[in-house]
Amino acid sequence: MALRFLGKGMIAKAPALAAEAPKEEEKSTSTFYIDLRPKIITLPETEDKTKIDIRYPLIPPYSFAHIYWDETDKELMYSVEEPVLSDTEKELLELLQIGLEEMINISFVKTKTTPAILKYLEKSMQSILLELGIRVSEETYNKLMYYIYRNSIGLNEIEPMIRDYYIEDIECNGDGFPLYIVHRKYANLRTNVTFQERQQLIDFVEKLSQRAGRYVSYAKPLLDGTLPDGSRVNATYTEDITTRGPTFTIRKFTEEPWTPIHLIMFNTADALSVAYLWFALEHKLNIMTVGETASGKTTFMNAISQFIPPEARICSIEDTRELNLPHINWLPSVTRAGFGIPTVLGEQYGEITLFDLLRETFRQAPDYVILGETRGKETFVLFQGMASGHPSLATFHAGSVATMVKRLETPPIELPASLIESLDIVAVTTHIKTPEKSFRRMTEMVEIIEVSAGGGMEGIKSNKLFEWDPAKDNFKFNGNSVVLKKVNKNTGTPISELEAEVKIRQKLLQKMADQKIAGFKEVAEIINSYYKDKKSVLKRFGL
């Protein structure tokens, strides 16, 4: 059956797609249901990839992920399974979407709850079907509503993947090429999703920019922003920049951020090292998390930031919003892109940089400063703040402590060694990828004692407090903490008492991990209670 157009906005009454048409008073009765609750499915363990054949829900009951071994290409495939539309249903969907665009009420866009928007779209769709005299079966109706949700509220073809807890990255390398994902369990996988048309992909990049609240055009073809769910998006708009056409990469973050307990449960770090960081943060020491791209630096820093005392004033600065803290006394800031033709210094009018925000932050009386990532002239301001008594946390791209110091000492940062010494602790994270496994670990935690100018690794005097043993996949504690000696000197508390305090926190964290108490709000409540009423918390856990 074909739908016959009579003119703009007009269509001939078509034969029903189902034998029985719903009664007029029943047309507003919804049969459509979509489950948007987050889903974490336990995936089975297997060492033989060729035996993998897993199917799990993404947006039930309409879309599912199917991971299986492709015998032809000899690789694991990630297939998004969605309802199949007939040619007639595709034509009707296109007609409905045109009708919705013409009759949409702009005020509904301000509604923040998905159920309310979905209800509005459904009523609008029913009105269009009624006006056109088109009758559809319940099955067709539900399929059409799913695709209207996916293309209007969701992110089109990638909406099911956005809903997959196990996906970390979604990567598009141009039109006509399959999308790839980074899966938490199975690493890089090719998908069955492809943007076939150039214009289709251009329209999608524009949609991403709108969702991120950023502007992209032929004059400004690079997009860097944050989607409403917290995912980070980077995209290009034209083939002038990327020869295969527009591209995008979406770095997904879990809806509920990782807590320190997650670090222990997933063996990213052990309970003792996490307890040590808790103690260090309470005593206002400076901590930097370093690692390569996608090594989990920001996730690690966000997790340990939850140990900051509840009443402390926190000021954070980021390029794109990624941090999520339970604290009320928290001032989060993000940079802003400029506009117009760049000046001779390469800056645009109205641009607010990390340097600008950090400089202002130190005038806002912060107890703690968190810098999402430091890489330029803002680093000098950060370390000046450390040296003047403002405890700070930051991430930095470097594979080791020696590389970090080398990068800090050389252009474009060029920090003097005396300032680098303001740093107390460096946690090095890495992403281990093998054909069988993909996981992240804190490879070492190092205390900085002294840094000599231009001395390379020989000029760094440090104490490697914790070290990851890859053979046994556990952490070695080397003892003799320099930081505990600093706290002892500042407070007069005997070293033995400080060590005992770290040990009791280790036991508490381990108990929470054993009992799987890892929820964002639960962990925050226990940490806050520990600061206010330590005895009752220890009693609760039998310590």
> What DSSP string describes 192-256?
EEE--SHHHHHHHHHHHHHHHT----SSS-EEEEE-TTS-EEEEE-STTTSTTS-EEEEE---SS
Phi, psi (5° rounding) for residue 395?
-110, 160
| Structure tokens that stand for 236 in this block | 């290009």
Question: 126 and 13, same structural domain?
Answer: yes
Each residue's pLDDT tens digit, 470-490? 999 999 999 889 999 999 999
Question: 23 and 87, same structural domain?
Answer: yes
Q: Report CA 244 to chain centroid distance, whole Å.
A: 26
**Does the pLDDT of residue 172 top 90, yes or no?**
yes
Question: 185 and 46, same structural domain?
Answer: yes
Stretch 60-85: mean pLDDT: 95
For residue 55, what are the contacts with CB-CB under 8 A and spacing of at least 6? 64, 65, 66, 67, 81
CATH code, domain with 218: 3.30.450.380
Question: 277 and 241, same structural domain?
Answer: no
- Torsion angle of alpha carbons 315, 391, 430, 509, nearest 10°? -90
* Average confidence score pLDDT of the chain: 88
pLDDT of residue 247: 97
Cβ contact 153:117 at 8 Å? yes
Cβ contact 445:426 at 8 Å? yes
Question: 265 and 222, same structural domain?
Answer: no
For the chain, what is the domain count? 2
pLDDT of residue 336: 81
For residue 135, what are the contacts with CB-CB under 8 A and spacing of at least 6? 16, 17, 18, 21, 22, 129
Measured CA to CA, the distance from residue 429 to residue 400 in angstroms comes to: 9
**Does the pLDDT of residue 200 top 70, yes or no?**
yes
- Torsion angle of alpha carbons 250, 256, 262, 263, nearest 10°? 50
Question: 284 and 228, same structural domain?
Answer: no
Q: Sign of torsion, CA 241 244 245 250?
A: negative
Domain that holds residue 202: 5-251
| Structure tokens that stand for 75 in this block | 């690789």
Question: 293 and 244, same structural domain?
Answer: no
Measured CA to CA, the distance from residue 22 to residue 18 in angstroms comes to: 10
- Residue of 165, 147, 164 whose CA lies nearest to 156: 147
pLDDT of residue 454: 62
Q: Which amino acid is at 126?
A: Q
- Residue of 368, 340, 369 whose CA lies nearest to 354: 369
pLDDT-derived band of residue 254, with 50, 70 and 90 as boundaries? confident
Among 35-39, 145-149, 223-227, which is the least confidently predicted range?
35-39
Among 16-20, 25-29, 128-132, 483-487, which is the least confidently predicted range?
16-20
**Does the pLDDT of residue 368 top 90, yes or no?**
yes
Which of 231, 251, 271 is a domain's end point? Answer: 251
Question: 275 and 168, same structural domain?
Answer: no
**Does the pLDDT of residue 17 top 50, yes or no?**
no
Which of 230, 251, 272 is a domain's end point? Answer: 251
Question: 480 and 381, same structural domain?
Answer: yes
CATH code, domain with 496: 3.40.50.300
pLDDT of residue 30: 66
Exposure string for 124-139, b = 16+ CB within 10 A, e = fewer:
bbbebbeebebbbeee
Question: 220 and 326, same structural domain?
Answer: no
Each residue's pLDDT tens digit, 311-365? 999 999 998 888 999 999 999 998 887 766 666 666 677 788 888 899 899 888 8
Question: 57 and 130, same structural domain?
Answer: yes
pLDDT of residue 271: 97
pLDDT of residue 111: 52
Stretch 154-178: mean pLDDT: 95
Using DSSP's 3-state secondary structure scheme, residue 177 falls into: coil
pLDDT of residue 319: 86
Query: What DSSP string describes 37-89?
Result: S---PPPPP-S-GGG-EEEEEEETTTEEEEEEEETTTTEEEEEEE-PPPPHHH
Stretch 510-525: mean pLDDT: 95
pLDDT of residue 25: 38
pLDDT of residue 390: 93
Q: Report CA 381 to chain centroid distance, whole Å.
A: 27
Using DSSP's 3-state secondary structure scheme, residue 148 falls into: helix
Each residue's pLDDT tens digit, 260-313? 999 999 999 999 999 999 999 999 999 999 999 889 999 999 999 999 999 999
pLDDT-derived band of residue 438, with 50, 70 and 90 as boundaries? confident
Measured CA to CA, the distance from residue 117 to residue 148 in angstroms comes to: 11
- Residue of 58, 32, 54 whose CA lies nearest to 44: 54
Measured CA to CA, the distance from residue 505 to residue 499 in angstroms comes to: 10
Question: 26 and 158, same structural domain?
Answer: yes
pLDDT of residue 26: 40
pLDDT of residue 117: 83
Measured CA to CA, the distance from residue 414 to residue 157 in angstroms comes to: 45
Q: Which amino acid is at 435?
A: P
Distance set, CA 356 to CA 362, 407, 438 (Å): 11, 22, 38
pLDDT-derived band of residue 455, with 50, 70 and 90 as boundaries? low
Cβ contact 331:315 at 8 Å? yes
Stretch 519-532: mean pLDDT: 95
**Does the pLDDT of residue 21 top 50, yes or no?**
no
Stretch 381-387: mean pLDDT: 94
pLDDT of residue 14: 39
Greater confidence (242 vs 101) lies with 242
**Does the pLDDT of residue 15 top 50, yes or no?**
no
pLDDT of residue 37: 80
Percent over 90 (pLDDT), the chain? 65
Which of 251, 271, 288 is a domain's end point? Answer: 251
